[in-house]
Chains A and B, each alone.
Chain A
Amino acid sequence: MRFLSNGALERLRNGAETPDLAGTRYRLLERIARGGMGVVYAAEDESLQRRVALKVVDVPGTDGDLANRLIREARVLAALEHPGIVPVHDVGTLADGRVFYTMKFVGGQRLDDYVGSVASVPDRLRIFLRICDAVAFAHARGVLHRDLKPANIMVELFGEVLVMDWGLAKVLRGEVVNRAPEADPDATVFENPKQPTRAGDVSEISVVTGHGTVMGTPGYMSPEQARGDVDRLDARSDIYSLGALLRFLLTGQPEAAPNSADPRLEKSLAAICAKSTSASPADRYPTVQELAQDVSRYLDGLAVGAHRETVLERAGRFYRRYRFFILLIAAYLAMRVLILLFMHR
């Protein structure tokens, strides 16, 4: 038996990992990332002469579980045609038997890298609303993402926001509803609706136990998801993650400050975050649309549903909203007073 040097071990490992694209229309370019199920590569679609992302499973299972999950992920993506969700192009099997799918190659930056370049709170909130749009659409099709976090959001060169990595997605109905969602905002109704009664150190890695009971990312994962209560998850679990994402966008951390009043946030925004990330699903927003509406109301200078204002706060908000007109009227009145004083002299 021959001795294998460390260099040979490394080459064997690389050779075993690199997907064999013979017989496909793709040409391998480079490795981009590793996910829970497999590896994502940049590849060139030689027929259409465009760059795509190719995701392929790494370890085979006796029962083909990983392969089936990848196929499922591709099909979920295929059913979710939305500008905020990365489109899937193709699915198939490589010569070495591994299942793969290709999707749009997304350039740009991950949200956690991008957010530093967005200075204003309103701009950050507008990004958040675009994420909400995509997630609400998926919910309307009966799909939960279950792993919403900054690393799974990409912002492209022209500001397009894309929700990525649907590998942990849960289909709430038997199959993804493959039709346009109804205009009715109450379309986020699931077949079997359930009514279930550390800052700065958040792992980027989704937690997947050996038995797949706990899947998600600490800090962004709802308590019921962290308990592995998979059967009881509904849209409100994603709403918890969206709340953590919103807090991350505004403070840099997905979790609330240890004291009850978060000094990093305005009261209305803190209340929206707190409501979204309530421990009990019943206390959260029932739908993503309602969460998005509250954020939009804040952006428009209106009262948000999550926070009951004092008279002083209401006056302050009124002033901020109509500052221009209030100052204009005040200037007009001041002028009138000055003119009157001048005329009486």
Chain B
Amino acid sequence: MSEEDFQPGGDRFPPTRRSVIEAVRSIDAEERERALEALCTAYWKPIYKYVRWRWNRPANDAQDLTQGFFSELLERELLDKFDSNKSRLRTYLRVCVDSFVINEDKAGRRQKRGGSIPHVALDFAAAEEELGATVIDPAKIASPESLEEFFEKEWVRSLFALAVEDLRTLCEERDRARTFRLFEAYDLDGDERSSYQQLSKDYGISVTDVTNALAWARREFRKIALDRLRELCGGEDEFQREARAAFGWDSK
């Protein structure tokens, strides 16, 4: 048997998505815009929540600051200065947000922005609702570690939520709507009482079918999430580290 027999097929990252860091430096304006859109889609919510929590800003202020930050990211070409050998993109963006908020405060300026940021629908009302549902220990002192932890968790939440939406689309395309409903019922909304047996009764299918459907959905979710993550990293090393962080493989 040759080594090729064991070449991982599904799990090797197909080079379909280019890193946003590479793309944002592209001379092709369309590619740059697509990259910024991808970045904004994945990061706007964690950044908004972070500004609300870390900087204790009211919702209106946080909305302006979030939009202002992405405008600044474009105007000052901050992503060009990012070096994936020195830090993670996630950490770099968080530090940039901190500097941006401090500078805005110093300059005493706060203006409605949004015209020049990529075309991403920022549903602040939903973000606000999510923030209300997020359990934050008020007694927790805002140490650098807890800030990083908060930002990381919200970033993972955003990444996974996008991957779930992609999975929903994939299921619709492949006529597997029931598979997505099972995935939703067990993996997204389930609790300790959820069981494959219960799902098989609810959906009138065998337990084996439930098992197979969930295995397929998880496999696809994993692929999609890693695919999206790859796009948001500057290089292979950063991807490996971020994948371990996002999936909790470092802490287990």
Binding site for B on A (CB under 8 A): 1-13, 15-18, 20, 22, 31, 34, 39, 57-64, 67-68, 71, 91-93, 95-99, 210-211
Contact = CB atoms under 8 A, between A and B. Distances in A.
Contacts of A67: 6-8, 11-12
Nearest to A92: B6
Interface residues of B, number: 52
B8 A15 contact: no
Contact of B6 (A3, A12, A71): A71
B53 to A, nearest CB: 15
Interface in B177-212: 186-191, 212
B11 A13 contact: no
B3 interface: yes
Nearest to B162: A1
18 contacts: A1-B161, A2-B165, A3-B157, A8-B189, A11-B188, A13-B247, A15-B222, A16-B247, A20-B219, A61-B240, A62-B13, A62-B15, A64-B7, A91-B6, A93-B7, A95-B10, A96-B219, A99-B6
B151 interface: no
Interface string B156-184: 11001110110000000000000000000
A54 to B, nearest CB: 15
Contact of A60 (B8, B15, B129, B162): B8
Contact of A71 (B3, B123, B129, B191): B3
B215 A22 contact: yes
Interface of B: 3, 6-13, 15, 123, 126, 129-130, 133, 135, 153, 156-157, 160-162, 164-165, 186-191, 212, 214-215, 218-219, 221-223, 225-226, 230, 236-237, 239-241, 243-244, 247-249, 252
Nearest to B157: A4
Contact of B244 (A31, A59, A62): A59
A97 B12 contact: yes
Contacts of B215: 20, 22, 95
A257 B240 CA distance: 38
A57 B247 CA distance: 13
A8 B221 contact: no
Contact of A97 (B8, B123, B225, B230): B8
Given A13-B247, A61-B240, A93 B9 contact: yes
Given A22-B212, A34-B249, A62-B15, A2 B164 contact: yes
A59 B188 contact: no
A61 B244 contact: no
Please indicate which of the listed interface residues A5, A20, A60 has the most CB atoms of chain B within 10 Å of its own CB: A60
A160 B212 CA distance: 40
Contacts of B237: 210-211
Contact of B190 (A6, A11, A17, A68): A11
Contacts of A99: 6, 8
B179 to A, nearest CB: 13
Contact of A16 (B12, B157, B212, B225): B225
Nearest to B215: A20
Contacts of A98: 8, 11
A63 B240 CA distance: 12
Contacts of B160: 4, 8-9, 12
Contacts of B225: 12, 16
A12 B153 CA distance: 13
B248 A13 contact: yes
Given A20-B219, A67-B12, A2 B191 contact: no
A210 B157 CA distance: 26
Given A22-B215, A34-B249, A93-B6, A62 B157 contact: no
Given A13-B248, A97-B9, A59 B156 contact: no
B34 to A, nearest CB: 19
Contacts of A92: 6
Contacts of B130: 3
A99 B7 CA distance: 8
Contacts of B247: 13, 16-17, 58-59
Contacts of B190: 11
B10 A5 contact: no
Given A67-B12, A97-B11, A9 B157 contact: yes
Q: Which 7 A-B pairs have the closest CB atoms?
A: A97-B10, A97-B11, A15-B218, A16-B222, A210-B237, A60-B11, A59-B243
Nearest to B186: A11
Given A16-B221, A93-B8, A3 B226 contact: no
Given A60-B13, A97-B12, A5 B133 contact: yes
A125 to B, nearest CB: 36
A13 B250 CA distance: 12
Given A8-B187, A11-B190, A64 B8 contact: yes
B12 A4 contact: no
Contact of B161 (A2, A31, A58, A71): A2
Given A8-B189, A16-B222, 4 more contacts: A3-B157, A12-B188, A93-B7, A99-B8
